[in-house]
Structure 1
Amino acid sequence: MPEVFFHAGAGRAASRWLQERVFPRFRGVRYVPRTRFRQSAKVMRRGGDLPVLVSRQLGYRELTPAVEWFARAAPAARPILVLRRHDEWLRSVYLREIKELRHVPFEAFIDLERDEGVRPQSSALFRERIRVLEDHFEHRPLVLFFDQLVEDPRAFVRTIADYVGASYDEARISFRPSNRSYRDRQYRFLREVRRRWPVKRREEPASAGLRWLRVRSRRLAWHAGVTLGRVAPERLLSSDPLLTEAQLARARAFYAADWEACVDYARRHNPGLLAGE
């Protein structure tokens, strides 16, 4: 089996950008995109001289089952993980909920007191992600930080390329973010839509065709909301902030120990690489 690298991407931490703008430009590796994750075992079994780079974005529910499945096929794979500081990450995830017309107050989104929110507190424990990768693979994960990408995106890409043994033409890589943040006004409009016309969460199983239709319908609603949000009268929008600095500061303090544990891990096990603060 060739040498294997496994990017176990976290949402809202540059995963889509890496998968669409960076990894396909790497030369000297066979890249298996997220859409072919379940075929990666066949790619690895074929062997060959080139190392294999597999990328998959994994939420907190999917992480352990996906890692267990992949580790059975490639226990010697070298994992790669990019982490984003908890308050910044939660802000991005929360705004995505608003964009997808699933707005709830931030305290109901993640409840830092009673743990009764839409997302459990454990969904943002990043040191646990590292532990899952440690437990299933023979090699420790390469842990990088979103702050490194923001500070010097070209150096960030070089770090990953050097790690997997790839070359690339930097001019062919777009360093623009793949997900543009909406303006505050547009998010406020989408929040108002959710408040006035609640969208029921569907938990029942659905066919692949129905799931595809739901996703497409939701995306159409996003685009319509974004367009209307640009011109909606201010009087229709609540002046309540989407998030307050106090809420973000509380989230940062709540997960401070977990973040320090991740930074310390990178310092100890990724020698020569700058860990994010």
Structure 2
Amino acid sequence: MPQLFIHIGLHKTGTTFLQREVFPLWKGVNYLAQDKLEYLTRMREGERYLLSREGLSGVNWARSADRIRSIENLGRLFPQARVIISFRQHAGYIASSYNQYLQRGGSLSFPEYFEPVGGGGLLKIEDFMYRPKLEAVRRAFVHEPLVLLHSDIVSDLPLVLSLLESYVGGRAPSVDAIRNRRHNQSVSYYPAKALRYLNARSQSALNAEGRWPLYHWRLQRLGLDPRSICQALSRRLFTRPLLVASDLDGVDDLFAEDWAYIRDQAETWRSAVS
């Protein structure tokens, strides 16, 4: 039977880099870059296939129960698949998650998006806990998942390639063959303020009541939608970061035990290839 490997994210953990710069160069593995079900029906006996879609573990700002449901549903469809899942230390992950939320049409301030003390934000502490997601993967699939760290993808790519090669098979591309390009441009402080204002009035997936059609596909194609304009301003004019250290003060401490657990799981795989 064909072997299916599914890279399910998480979002903002180096997934786009792997999808664009690494997986297409992999030898001996069929990379399913298209997100069409029909490609899964064409898998051939005895061959390896890799599907990488971070949305398979839920949208970036999904509640924990919704993410776990997505994982469980995927496991029901492909219980024999081997899963690759990556994690990022919580403060950086939450900050990057909020940045993407704004770029997808969100208009909440950061405390409204995530407020750990009072619990009044859109997302709660439990929504950013990693261990329940990893345990859900273990329950849903027959095989043990490969756990990667975003920090290794950024700073120790040879290790990540070795881990993937030992898990997926085939032959990894050389580091020299991989372009080190930046993906997913973030928005900085002042463009983000403008983006929140425009998003609150624009129709999008996160604001069905919006009246302004600023995310129309024609504007997006021309780079004239709010997201594209604010990204361009962030690259060229405004450098103040969207969030500073005080905005994330104590966040990693809140998740220290959860992160220690994830690091231990990743270390198990590191030890296996060292």
TM-score, normalising length: structure 1: 0.78
What is the distance in 1 between the residues matched to 2:109 and 2:139? 36
CA, structure 1 residues 152+131, in 2 after alignment: closer, same or farther (shift >3 Å)?
same
Cα-to-partner distance string for 1:195-248 (whole Å, 9 max, x where unaligned): 4783354247xxxxxx9749938972222233456777x9xx9x8x73231332
1:163 maps to which residue?
167
Q: Which runs of 5+ in 2 are unaligned?
A: 210-214
Give the 4+ runs in structure 1 shifted more than 6 A: none
CA distance in 2 between counterparts of 1:151 and 1:231 reads: 26
- Asked if 1 retains the 8 angstrom alpha-carbon contact of 2:4 and 2:49, the reply is yes
Gaps of 5+ in 1: 205-210
Query: Match for residue 51 of structure 2?
Result: 54
Query: Are 1:153 and 1:175, in contact at CA under 8 Å, matched by a contact in 2?
Result: no
Distance in 2 (alpha carbons) for counterparts of 1:247 and 1:140: 36
SS at match of 2:98: helix
2:236 & 2:148 partners in 1: Cα distance?
40
Aligned twin of 2:201:
199
Q: Which residue of 2 aligns with 1:22?
A: 22
- CA RMSD after TM alignment: 3.3
Within a 5 Å distance, the mapping from 1:139-218 to structure 2 comes to 139-170=143-174, 171-182=176-187, 184=188, 187-195=189-197, 198-199=200-201, 201-203=206-208, 213=217, 216=220
**Aligned residue runs from structure 1 range 214-225, under 5 A:** 216=220, 220-225=225-230
* Structure 1 residue 143 displacement after superposition: 0.6
SS at match of 2:121: coil
TM-score computed with the length of structure 2 as normaliser: 0.79
| Amino acid aligned to 1:131 | E
User: Which residue number corresponds to residue 208 of structure 1?
Assistant: none
Query: CA–CA distance in 2 between the matches of 1:169 and 1:153?
Result: 11
Would you say the 8 A contact 1:76–1:139 is kept in 2?
yes
Q: 2:32 — aligned with what?
A: 32
Match of 2:5, SS?
strand
Percentage identity across paired residues of the two chains: 23
Q: Which amino acid aligns with 1:216?
A: Q
CA gap of 1:148–1:269, structure 2 versus 1, over 3 A, is closer
Residues in 2 aligned to 1:197 and 1:33: alpha-carbon distance in whole angstroms: 30
Aligned residues: 258
- Per the alignment, in what secondary structure is the counterpart of residue 223 of structure 1? helix
Find the aligned partners of 2:154 and 2:15 in 1 and give their Cα distance: 14
- Structure 1 stretch 134-143 or stretch 215-224: which is displaced more? 215-224
Q: 2:110 corresponds to which letter in structure 1?
A: F
CA distance in 2, matches of 1:252, 1:147: 15
